[in-house]
Homo-oligomer: A and B are copies of this chain.
């Protein structure tokens, strides 16, 4: 499975910042390239040149938003950037592009945010009642307002003041004309890492893969609840919030993060492979001829499954990487090419074979059903679907764009009912225990709410929340 599938979780955002480098914006641009898998809907970079904030934000991929002209305009030695998928804020709405840039009593400020606040609507209502106006529907604007309203003296104190008032997930970069602040919520739900490039230039990134690209040195993960101030006086660390149980989103390992990243010290590719091995042990398929991944995200788990089971691994489904945002279906067609345009089974490999198909998750089930049927149509004698995560029974409120609970196939169907629906010969999911065994070598905590319904951050009236949000989804059309 992969990012383009509409029947899937969507990762929401990636952030990247560079402090004290003569080509700050260009490095942020490269960093966003490496984080592109975290959001393909819009991209933006804001730099500071003396006291002047300079911004370019636009729809589409990093490669489309920025040309030489745009980057040349983003002067200055510090810059932050953002790639986004929707989440809060309507999809592809010109109002909702990050980073945000505002003027305040203390000068300019820019902010880029990956995550979701559970009390965003409440805070927004409170702020509106005291007279604040909102120009986007992004949670981030709440944090910006609270920061501007704070009476504290320094920028970092004001930001901490603001963050003390919100609940939810955030991996956040804030910038004024002198410094960049990185903050990770007390639960550590979203990843964030610190790096260095050259002697005195610092980098903050959602994932380590972006550090690798620009050949920055990895220093360490930003800790849950940590606020890091990077400024003229160097790097300072604060832990201003009450300590919480660490709850890193476990789905980062299963699907979101890029395989060559390490999150909190654990390599994603290696974890996915261990998951596949565990899956093979928990739910073996006897007499299968091939293990075939649903590319690209299913590949490492399938490799692990093949390794543990001894069943040969084959790239029996080819993914077409030239697919654009939209493609045009024949109008009189009764078939839909939606999945086939991206995923093409290789009949020569599949024909007459008993196939183990490895994918990372089942959301609505419609895509899985299409893929199973496609593999069978390519000649498979049997299709055994193995999912490298537990059944997804609950929606995410911490920044992942999931369907509502009722749309999640696993929320209302037994595994056997799901098997029937996706038309597989057998279907099995990794157990929660198996997942933890594969992921967790060192006793850390994770958020597994989408599998367990145990939400670590309490949230008030979340259904009304969604309701309220929708009611004010004012939109700006693209030009």
Contacts and interface: CB of A to CB of B under 8 A. Distances in A.
Interface stretch (A143-151, A423-431, A454-462): A143-151
A420 B99 CA distance: 47
Contacts of A128: 103-106, 148
Interface in A206-225: 209, 212-215
Contacts of A213: 337, 340-341, 344
B52 A475 contact: yes
Interface in A37-88: 37, 40, 51-59, 61-71, 73-74
Contacts of A323: 33, 63
Interface in A292-338: 296, 299-300, 303, 307, 312-315, 318, 320-333, 335, 337
Nearest to A158: B131
A58 B479 contact: yes
A135 B135 contact: yes
Nearest to A331: B23
A473 interface: yes
Given A133-B104, A148-B133, A299-B315, A330 B473 contact: no
A438 to B, nearest CB: 15
Interface string A238-271: 0000000000000000000011101000010110
B145 A30 contact: no
What interface size band does chain A fall in? 35 or more
A55 B477 contact: yes
Contact of A344 (B34, B270, B347, B476): B34
Q: How would you classify the secondary structure of chain A's contact residues: helix, strand, loop or mixed?
A: mixed
Nearest to A60: B479
Given A323-B33, A324-B63, A54 B344 contact: no
A329 B327 CA distance: 30
Contacts of A137: 103
Nearest to A265: B348
Contact of A63 (B70, B144, B325): B325
A318 B209 contact: yes
A36 interface: yes
A36 B212 contact: no
Residue of A100, A137, A145, A475 contacting most chain B CB atoms (<10 Å): A475
A326 B66 CA distance: 10
Contacts of A54: 474-477
A218 to B, nearest CB: 9
B65 A479 contact: yes
A67 B473 contact: no
Interface string A448-479: 00000000000000000000000111111101
Contacts of A321: 296, 321
Contacts of A109: 133
Interface in A182-228: 209, 212-215
A108 interface: yes
Nearest to A51: B471
A313 B313 contact: yes
A442 interface: no
A337 B30 contact: yes
A159 to B, nearest CB: 13
Nearest to A144: B133
B56 A476 contact: yes
A24 B64 CA distance: 31
A102 B135 contact: yes
Contact of A55 (B270, B330, B471, B475): B475
Interface of A: 22-23, 26-27, 29-30, 33-34, 36-37, 40, 51-59, 61-71, 73-74, 94-95, 100-109, 124-125, 128-135, 137, 144-145, 148-150, 209, 212-215, 258-260, 262, 267, 269-270, 296, 299-300, 303, 307, 312-315, 318, 320-333, 335, 337, 340-341, 344-349, 471-477, 479
Can you list the 5 inter-chain pairs with the closest CB atoms, starting with the nearest?
A: A63-B324, A58-B479, A131-B149, A105-B128, A267-B348
30 contacts: A29-B327, A29-B328, A34-B344, A52-B474, A54-B475, A54-B476, A61-B324, A63-B324, A71-B328, A100-B135, A103-B134, A103-B472, A105-B131, A107-B472, A108-B474, A128-B148, A130-B149, A131-B150, A132-B132, A132-B133, A135-B135, A209-B344, A212-B344, A215-B335, A258-B318, A260-B344, A269-B315, A269-B348, A296-B321, A313-B313
